[in-house]
A and B are shown apart, each in its own frame.
Chain A
Amino acid sequence: QVQLQESGPGLMTPSETLSLTCTVSGGSIYSDSWTWIRQPPGKGLEWIGHIRNSGGTHYNRSLETRLTISIDTSKSQFSLKVTSMTPADTAVYFCARLYCGRGGCLVDYWGQGTLVTVSS
């Protein structure tokens, strides 16, 4: 059973850079792709981006100038950096596994999520 756990700051001030880390256990970080998804309070889900086990990345076009997703296989972790945070970036940030098989791709295992609040 793959398990994921996000870690990072809960409270930030505007213009700061968000750094989140997701630790993967119970499965190999080498074998799949890994993604970040966020959910503003009371709103729906928004895909942020993902990183393949090869290291290649794919970003949401509306956010990509501010994003960096990286992977550290030695620590079984992948990370998200978002620059120039504003209150509009306040959300629960989820890390998750992106699995692709013959029938298509799906996000199957999710972390519990971490609330990031941006406020002055």
Chain B
Amino acid sequence: QSALTQPPSASGTPGQRVTISCSGGSSNIGSNTVNWYQQLPGTAPKLLIYSDNERPSGVPDRFSGSKSGTSASLAISGLQSEDEADYYCATWDDSLNGWVFGGGTKLTVL
């Protein structure tokens, strides 16, 4: 069981806005910054959002991150077919003294 909880699936139609949640606790999200990763089938994860809401160079501004208390969210606006992937949140956990990942959310573009 992951220390961070994500919904196993999410879906939307092209052009829609979709949000994916990541729920944790005071020892992880509540104390440390959150990163988000996108994983296309058969490939390594790609950094999508870091430090709660920052985008690396090259990541479209359709992707945005936010955090409040012990929960974080990833929002994807203007949904495109190529956004169909698995999405993971990640952060450091002070109690476990290690990195923790959410269980992942499979995004389907209908």
Contacts and interface: CB of A to CB of B under 8 A. Distances in A.
Given A61-B96, A113-B44, 13 more contacts: A44-B101, A45-B45, A47-B99, A58-B98, A60-B98, A61-B98, A103-B50, A106-B50, A107-B37, A107-B47, A107-B90, A108-B47, A110-B46
A107 B35 contact: yes
A104 B32 contact: yes
**Number of contact residues on A: which range applies?**
20 to 34
B15 to A, nearest CB: 29
Contact of A58 (B43, B45, B50, B97): B97
Contact of A44 (B33, B88, B97, B98): B88
B102 interface: yes
B102 A44 contact: yes
B35 A106 contact: yes
Contacts of A44: 2, 88, 101-104
A47 B45 CA distance: 13
Interface of A: 35, 44-47, 49-50, 58-61, 94, 96, 103-108, 110-113
B83 interface: no
A94 B47 CA distance: 14
19 contacts: A35-B99, A44-B2, A45-B37, A47-B98, A47-B99, A58-B98, A94-B44, A103-B33, A103-B50, A103-B54, A104-B50, A104-B51, A104-B92, A105-B33, A106-B47, A106-B50, A107-B90, A110-B45, A110-B46
Interface of B: 2, 32-33, 35, 37, 43-47, 50-51, 54, 56, 88, 90, 92, 96-104
A49 B98 CA distance: 8
A9 B90 CA distance: 28
Given A47-B98, A94-B44, A105 B92 contact: yes
Contact of B104 (A45, A94, A107): A45
A81 to B, nearest CB: 18
A72 to B, nearest CB: 23
Per CB-CB distance, the 7 closest pairs between chain A and chain B, nearest first, are A104-B33, A103-B51, A47-B99, A110-B44, A106-B50, A45-B101, A44-B104
Nearest to B33: A104
